[in-house]
Chains A and B, each alone.
Chain A
Amino acid sequence: MQALYAQLLVGLINGSFYALLSLGLAVIFGMLNIINFAHGALYMMGAFVAYFLLNLGGINYWWALLLAPIIVGIFGMILERTMLQWLTGLDHLYGLLLTFGIALIVQGVFQNYFGSSGLPYAIPDQLKGGMNLGFMFLPVYRGWVVVFSLVVCLATWFLIEKTQLGAYLRAATENPTLVRAFGINVPRMITLTYGLGVGLAALAGVLSAPINQVRPLMGADLIIVVFAVVVIGGMGSIMGSIITGFALGVIEGLTKYFYPEASNTVVFVLMVLVLLVKPTGLTGRAA
């Protein structure tokens, strides 16, 4: 039974990363109509920035949680201003190919300098150790990742669904020309939205660093699963991405316990089933 709970916890942690990453992808796809294949590389950059901050600047994990998303978010905004903005109105394929190319270049550069093996990033002192819950042992850091990710996901959902800024974002997703004609600087809003989505990926990277180590290909390993999560949740759906992210992490964890052979494919099997029954995803709306 302890093994089941342990797998559930692993599933929840993976689900946290899936949710944070798919949320960023959903925000970017909803607003920019770009399938951001660079998302995994930007997640990896978040972890590396945290690593550099600690080892070169002596800046600890807590500051990294704030600074890494800002730094990588600014990098993302530069990408959007210099490259992605020119793809407006073109087929999705162009955005996909461009961001795939960016991902390969970024990962290649990091691999060139740091190799493929992982660099250690220590768990902060305040989050070391664990708690005995009676039915299982819970490492504090892992519990923190789940709770913090959930809070960030819900805060992002609130920002987009319940605030005036979110109303601008949702309206601009539907009709950017009209929103701009109301006096809102839509190009700037698009850049900031891309920065927000990228910042979420970087935040997931910082959270992941103490668990998975810092590796140039850490994002490449994850991004395909995250895309499956986004497709299952419904492209562009904020709440769909959050719920599906956590749910699929748990389903993956349970599969590891009951039928380990299928644990790497269960997400994709679910994706196929969802696409057959509801091609717009579980919470997506028809175009």
Chain B
Amino acid sequence: MPDTAIAEAPARAATGGNILQVRNLESWYGESHILHGINFDVNAGEVVTLLGRNGAGKTTTLKSIMGIIGKRSGSVKFNDEEIIRATSDKIARMGIAFCPEERGIFSSLDVRENLMLPPVVRAGGLPLDQIFDLFPNLKERLSSQGTKLSGGEQQMLAIARILRTGASFLMLDEPTEGLAPVIIQQIGHTIARLKKEGFTILLVEQNFRFASTVADRYYVVEHGKIIDGFSNAELATNMDKLHTYLGV
């Protein structure tokens, strides 16, 4: 994967400014109360990882930010604009892109159609040749049915299609789940390059060894609340706590 295209591209965002602010976020699936007041911030240009056990509320947090969960309350501000009541299509058009855990590759569409499906919501998306530099496998399989790709290729496709849209804030839900170590490494390199490119990334991961290779900061989610947060520099001193939180 050549670095040139990424290295030459202008920075998308200067690190530092607050881009996402989540306050007292609560969510429900029907009668089940899942999030009980989530609070955290993401700064522009950062990779922030939500860690936690299965069922802790990490995915629900992403879906709530994206407006996919019908019943939610609290405050979610993106670039200082309140989006808690916005529909998911409007949120997407503000520049937030979501890559779901199950990848969401459409079986009735071929790879090219899957790749081109999300509309361009603003200028600044990666052009196709740059996307193919990042994911050369996709270029060779453009006419294949989307779901005929391997798990790793499907994950690449799921990430690739949101890079075209011009969204500057990416939410990736467990991008390494079920993938071979060599593919996980490739996804890690991709996330690192996207960070260099200026994308802001909110990552959900259970695999904190993978997360530690890309993240700037971590939040630990448990029972629908953020119970801890630390930077990558503090990771080593928090390892024992982290093992307890994640039960590993």
Binds A, one of B109-117, B176-184, B200-208, B220-228: B109-117
| Neighbouring A residues of B91 by C-beta, 8 Å | 181
Q: Which residue in A167, A173, A175, A186 is a CB contact (below 8 Å) of B89?
A: A186
Instruction: Determine if A164 is an interface residue (Cβ-Cβ < 8 Å).
Output: yes
In whole angstroms, how far apart are the Cα atoms of A184 and B89 in the complex? Answer: 5
Chain B residue at smallest Cβ distance from A170: B108
Q: Give the tally of cross-chain contacts (CB within 8 A).
A: 55
Instruction: Determine if B29 is an interface residue (Cβ-Cβ < 8 Å).
Output: no
* Nearest chain A CB to B118 CB, angstrom units: 4
Interface CB pairs A-B, < 8 A, 7? A168-B117, A170-B109, A174-B106, A178-B100, A179-B117, A183-B165, A186-B89
- Among B182-212, those with CB < 8 Å from A are none
Q: Taking beta carbons and an 8 Å cutoff, which residues of A are in contact with B?
A: 164, 167-168, 170-171, 173-175, 177-186
Chain A residue at smallest Cβ distance from B107: A174
> Which 6 pairs, one residue from A and one from B, show the smallest C-beta to C-beta distance?
A183-B92, A182-B118, A170-B108, A181-B88, A178-B104, A171-B106
* Nearest chain B CB to A158 CB, angstrom units: 14
Query: Given contacts A174-B107, A175-B104, A184-B89, is CB(A167)–CB(B118) below 8 Å?
Result: no
| Neighbouring A residues of B119 by C-beta, 8 Å | 182-184
Q: Is the beta-carbon distance between A167 and B116 smaller than 8 angstroms? A: yes
B interface residues, tally (CB under 8 Å)? 25
Instruction: Give the dominant DSSP class at A's interface.
Output: helix
Q: Is the beta-carbon distance between A171 and B108 smaller than 8 angstroms? A: yes
* Nearest chain A CB to B138 CB, angstrom units: 17
In whole angstroms, how far apart are the Cα atoms of A179 and B108 in the complex? Answer: 13
| Neighbouring A residues of B88 by C-beta, 8 Å | 177, 180-181
In whole angstroms, how far apart are the Cα atoms of A129 and B93 in the complex? Answer: 56
Query: Given contacts A174-B108, A177-B68, is CB(A185)–CB(B89) below 8 Å?
Result: yes
- Among B122-165, those with CB < 8 Å from A are 162, 165
* Nearest chain B CB to A141 CB, angstrom units: 38
Q: Is the beta-carbon distance between A180 and B87 smaller than 8 angstroms? A: yes
Query: Given contacts A181-B68, A181-B92, A183-B121, is CB(A164)–CB(B107) below 8 Å?
Result: no
Instruction: Give the dominant DSSP class at B's interface.
Output: loop
Q: Is the beta-carbon distance between A182 and B108 smaller than 8 angstroms? A: no
In whole angstroms, how far apart are the Cα atoms of A191 and B113 in the complex? Answer: 23
Q: Is the beta-carbon distance between A173 and B118 smaller than 8 angstroms? A: no
Chain A residue at smallest Cβ distance from B88: A181
In whole angstroms, how far apart are the Cα atoms of A174 and B93 in the complex? Answer: 21
Instruction: Determine if B20 is an interface residue (Cβ-Cβ < 8 Å).
Output: no
Instruction: Determine if B98 is an interface residue (Cβ-Cβ < 8 Å).
Output: yes
| Neighbouring B residues of A178 by C-beta, 8 Å | 100, 104
Q: Is the beta-carbon distance between B117 and A182 smaller than 8 angstroms? A: yes
In whole angstroms, how far apart are the Cα atoms of A175 and B93 in the complex? Answer: 19
Q: Which residue in A168, A174, A175, A182 is a CB contact (below 8 Å) of B92?
A: A182
Q: Is the beta-carbon distance between A167 and B165 smaller than 8 angstroms? A: no
Chain B residue at smallest Cβ distance from A161: B108
Q: Is the beta-carbon distance between B121 and A171 smaller than 8 angstroms? A: no
Chain A residue at smallest Cβ distance from B90: A183
| Neighbouring A residues of B100 by C-beta, 8 Å | 178
In whole angstroms, how far apart are the Cα atoms of A143 and B158 in the complex? Answer: 48
15 further interface pairs, Cβ-Cβ under 8 Å (given A171-B108, A181-B68, A183-B92): A164-B116, A171-B109, A171-B117, A174-B106, A177-B68, A180-B88, A181-B92, A182-B92, A182-B117, A182-B118, A182-B165, A183-B89, A183-B118, A183-B119, A183-B121
Instruction: Determine if B66 is an interface residue (Cβ-Cβ < 8 Å).
Output: yes
| Neighbouring B residues of A170 by C-beta, 8 Å | 106, 108-109
In whole angstroms, how far apart are the Cα atoms of A269 and B108 in the complex? Answer: 31
In whole angstroms, how far apart are the Cα atoms of A179 and B68 in the complex? Answer: 11
* Nearest chain B CB to A184 CB, angstrom units: 6
| Neighbouring B residues of A181 by C-beta, 8 Å | 66-68, 88-89, 91-92, 98
* Nearest chain B CB to A29 CB, angstrom units: 14
Chain B residue at smallest Cβ distance from A164: B116
In whole angstroms, how far apart are the Cα atoms of A271 and B116 in the complex? Answer: 38
In whole angstroms, how far apart are the Cα atoms of A239 and B48 in the complex? Answer: 47
